[in-house]
Amino acid sequence: MTPPNPRRGADRSPAPRSRKPTMADVAAELGVSRALVSLVFRDQPGASPETRERVFEAAARLGYKPDMAARLLARGRSKVLGVLFTARNPHHVDLVEAIYPTAEELGYDLVLSAAVPSRDEQKAIEALVGHRSEALLLCGPTISEEDIADLGARLPVVVLGRHLKSAPVDIVTSYDRPGAREVVDHLVGLGHRDIAHVDGGSKPGAPERRRAYRDAMRAHGLADRIRIIPGNHTEEGGQDAARGMLADDAELPTAVFASNDQCAIGLLDVFTRAGVKIPEQVSIVGYDDSHIAGLSHIDLTTVRQDVPRLARLAVEAADEQLRGVREPGATLKLESKLVVRGTSGPPTQR
Amino acid sequence: MTPPNPRRGADRSPAPRSRKPTMADVAAELGVSRALVSLVFRDQPGASPETRERVFEAAARLGYKPDMAARLLARGRSKVLGVLFTARNPHHVDLVEAIYPTAEELGYDLVLSAAVPSRDEQKAIEALVGHRSEALLLCGPTISEEDIADLGARLPVVVLGRHLKSAPVDIVTSYDRPGAREVVDHLVGLGHRDIAHVDGGSKPGAPERRRAYRDAMRAHGLADRIRIIPGNHTEEGGQDAARGMLADDAELPTAVFASNDQCAIGLLDVFTRAGVKIPEQVSIVGYDDSHIAGLSHIDLTTVRQDVPRLARLAVEAADEQLRGVREPGATLKLESKLVVRGTSGPPTQR
DNA sequence: TAACGGTACTAGCGCGCTCTAGTAGCGCGC
DNA sequence: GCGCGCTACTAGAGCGCGCTAGTACCGTTA
């Protein structure tokens, strides 16, 4: 029986388009050695300015572009960082956007792999490793701490936005306590006392934010008002939580602190549609200050994570691990700060 | 005992982590040839079942993973598709998610490159080509038609969601006319006559949707009610348009058809915050049915593009070009259909 | 018996590049 | 004359893999 995929011999040369020119073509064109062309393209000393000129000119004329795969293979260092992110998470998207400039600055190329429903994180990570990523930047990974530790033993790993007890990886994230504290301070300052928290279950960062919320409430003597509603880091999570609160006979809290922006947006939506005035009847505060909260239609009060610095630190951490200047296992935390926008305000008395 | 570490000269490898195992390590471990291991990993005939078992077992034990870069280099065909998308566009994200399964099915690996503000499309595309993408899938590219044509001359290109006059590339998109027609039919059926269109300027797909809106209005004898408001395919575009409409002395239209979902969401937000009831005072209809519209808090009436099929057709088109079974230049169009949700309803008389 | 065909494997070249270890040619000082 | 150091270049060995063209060893068949 022939295999179902008989793409074999016909596999060799795809379209009869003109073959991609290689370094050898450029070298032959000029009558010099491949090594010289290589030198020029790597911007290494050892070629005269005139020769450089001629090489670039010939390369442009032939349409030569360096082949990354071959370069990666030949070079000890691939200078490629693999980035895992969740396509649907706007905060991750922000991080990815912010990672590009620093990576470029330090001379790294980026390969992205998206965790999507049909393709779990493990597979996405394997793809990154397979593409010769030297180090991995994982945005809010949901795989087990053990798996992350295994990965960390194989290559440098930097985890963004998630705490880990003990894994041989670097961690770059924000302090949750001050952020949550600022949220509660802000809301209490506005006159709120019934401040609920819609959490993110066990999603990256969620346990810490939940704890920070509890601490902040206690610090304000509001221990008895602590109310934690199970949620998720998705719009649906917020929607479900909001529906639950509306269906509940108990009074609505006057303020809700959500575990991330997507969740907050879910809350916002269901409340708005139910005729609950935001922020008059319920104030809503998110977390992350993803572009979807800040730039768009939401005008959400939220906790801003310093995304550009998070991204920079993450890339630098990876670079340091790669250069071997220190052992993995560092934890870097940044301050985050409250951004007051339109979804929080003083409660109205009922 | 453990594999002897044949360290090469002066250790160029970054961290002193255990060197990545290669096929040779696996072969040595079993006392067989590299070629055998290669066979097994490529799932080719020529190895006994027992041997396969042993190879896999040894590979797992050593932690061997095939190296893509080397594989790409050695293989005539790289079997890698490069995907360009805009990180912030939820519809693009949907497409990326949908592309993965088909690509996997046809045996292609995916490399993503995001167009982000700090990194224009040209650079993102160069990165894809440099990583040995055999073909490119471009989600709503904004570069010039000429640049796309140049690209298409170099390698197979499939453009998603944008019309082109003449370029040697395949195009996969949706018919705009029936979708827009359905929108106008729906709104007229509800009793609307003042139906405005917030367009997307020259963004991919926008001109066609604008034209389709005009045609549909004319078909309903509403040529004199045609009202096109300049917008953009972003939330800000929608917000600006909405603010403009509110500031305008003229009466609000009773319905607004936005050029994409993000734009519709911007409209939705500004209107809602201004106290305009949706859909009682103004109905809003989007375009794309991106997850942000469908699954989330928006409950937006919109035109659904058949994302899974778009994705499948795009990958298949790339595959066909690569196999050389036809010349590039095909245009594939899919039906799209109206999805009625909560943001459209009958107008209230004033 | 030889000839044959099939299975299970191996040798070794080459993909396009990087990089070490060179060589050739030059001017210079002694 | 010699060595010296410098610049400008080249030869050639890999990087980890895929793939063609083998070889060795069966069991059949005429």
| pLDDT value of residue B2 | 33
The answer on B149 and B99 residing in a single domain is yes
Closest CA to A140 of A230, A201, A80, A182: A201
Given this model, what pLDDT does residue B248 score?
86
B294: in domain: yes
* Distances B121 to B139, B157, B167 between C-alpha atoms, Å: 11, 14, 18
pLDDT at B11 exceeding the cut of 80? no
Tokens 């388009």 -> residue: A17
Domain span at A191: 176-305
A343 within some domain: no
Q: Which of residues 44-83 of A touch strand D (CB under 7 A)?
A: 45-48, 51, 70, 73-74
Q: Would residue B71 count as lying in a domain?
A: no
Residue B223 has a pLDDT of 97
The token pair that represents B53 in the structure block: 């078992």
Which of B18, B45, B66 corresponds to the end of one domain? B66
In a domain, B349, yes or no: no
By Cβ distance, the residue of A10, A93, A296 closest to B323 is A10
Residues A164 and A238 in one domain: no
Look at residue A175 in the predicted model and tell me its pLDDT. 93
Shortest CA gap B210–chain A (Å): 24
Average pLDDT estimate for B114-119: 85
Mutation site for A-interface testing, chosen from B20, B22, B44, B68 by largest number of A Cβ within 10 Å: B68
Here the tokens at position A202 are 């066990």
Supply the CATH number for residue B189's domain.
3.40.50.2300
Domain membership flag for residue B13: yes
Got the DSSP string for B297-308? TT--BEEEP-HH
Q: Pick out residues 5-64 of chain B having their CB under 7 A from any atom of nucleic acid strand D.
A: 8, 19-20, 22-24, 34-35, 38, 41-42, 44, 64
Among B15, B114, B156, the residue with its CB nearest the CB of A324 is: B15
> Are B260 and B244 in the same domain?
yes
Q: What's residue A341's pLDDT?
A: 93
Which residues is B198 bridged to in the sheet? Answer: B229, B258
Across B113-122, average pLDDT: 87
**In this structure, are A187 and A291 located in the same domain?**
yes
| Count of structural domains within chain B | 3
Asked if the structure places residue A117 within a domain, the reply is yes
Answer yes or no: do B47 and B122 share one domain. no
Residue B347 lies in a domain: no
The listed range with the strongest mean pLDDT (B108-112, B243-247, B298-302) is B243-247
Token reading at B329: 């230049």
β pairing state of A337-339 and A302-304: antiparallel
Distance in Å, alpha carbon of A215 to nearest chain B alpha carbon: 30
The spacing between the Cα labelled CA in B287 and the C1' in D22, in angstroms, equals: 61
Which of B17, B45, B66 is where one domain is finished?
B66
Lowest mean pLDDT among A288-297, A304-313, B99-108: A288-297
Q: Quote the pLDDT of residue B7.
A: 30
- Same domain, yes or no, for A128 and A145? yes
Q: Which chain D nucleotides are covered by protein, judged by CB under 7 A?
A: 7-12, 14-21
d(CA A39, CA A54): 13
- Residue A14 pLDDT grade (very low, low, confident, very high; cuts 50, 70, 90): very low
Predicted model pTM: 0.85
Per DSSP, helices labelled H in chain A are 23-30, 34-41, 49-62, 68-74, 90-105, 121-130, 145-154, 176-190, 206-219, 235-247, 261-273, 291-294, 307-323
Same domain, B269 and B196: yes
Give the confidence band of B19 by pLDDT, cuts at 50, 70, 90. confident
Q: Domain with B12 in it: what CATH number?
A: 1.10.260.40
Whether residue B271 is predicted with pLDDT greater than 60 in this model: the reply is: yes
For residues A258-284, give the mean pLDDT.
Answer: 91
What's the Å distance between residue A74 CA and nucleotide D21 C1'? Answer: 27
- Do residues A84 and A58 share a domain? no
Note whether residue B88 is domain-resident.
Answer: yes
Residues of chain B in contact with residue A76, where contact means CB-CB under 8 angstroms, are 12-14
Out of B267, B285, B305, a domain closes at: B305
CB of B76 lies under 7 Å from some atom of strand D: yes
Average pLDDT over chain B reads 89
How many beta carbons lie within 10 A of that of residue A53, not counting itself?
A: 12
B130–A66 C-beta distance less than 8 A: yes
Mean pLDDT throughout B301-321?
95
In this structure, the dihedral spanned by the alpha carbons of residues B155, B161, B164 and B167, taken in order and rounded to 10 degrees, is 10
Q: Please check whether residues B288 and B197 belong to one and the same domain.
A: yes
- Pick A154 or B263 by higher pLDDT: B263
Residue B323: the pLDDT is: 84
- CA to C1' distance (Å), from B31 to C3: 33
Question: If you measure CA to C1', which residue is closest to nucleotide C16?
Answer: A70
The per-residue pLDDT for B4 is 34
| Residues B181, B300 within the same domain | yes
Q: How confident is the model at residue A248 (pLDDT cuts 50, 70, 90)?
A: confident
CA-based angle B257:B258:B264, to the nearest 5?
115
Q: Are residues A245 and A295 in the same domain?
A: yes
User: Would you tell me which residues 120-159 of chain B have a C-beta closer than 8 angstroms to some C-beta of chain A?
Assistant: 126-127, 129-132, 134, 153-156
> Looking at chain B, how many residues does it have?
350
Do residues B88 and B31 both lie within one domain?
no
Q: Dump pLDDT digits (tens) for A47-71.
A: 999 999 999 999 999 989 999 889 9
Q: Given CB atoms, is A68 within the 8 Å cutoff of chain B? A: yes
Facing B297 at nearest CB: one of A109, A154, A270: A270
Contact A16 B324 (CB under 8 A): yes
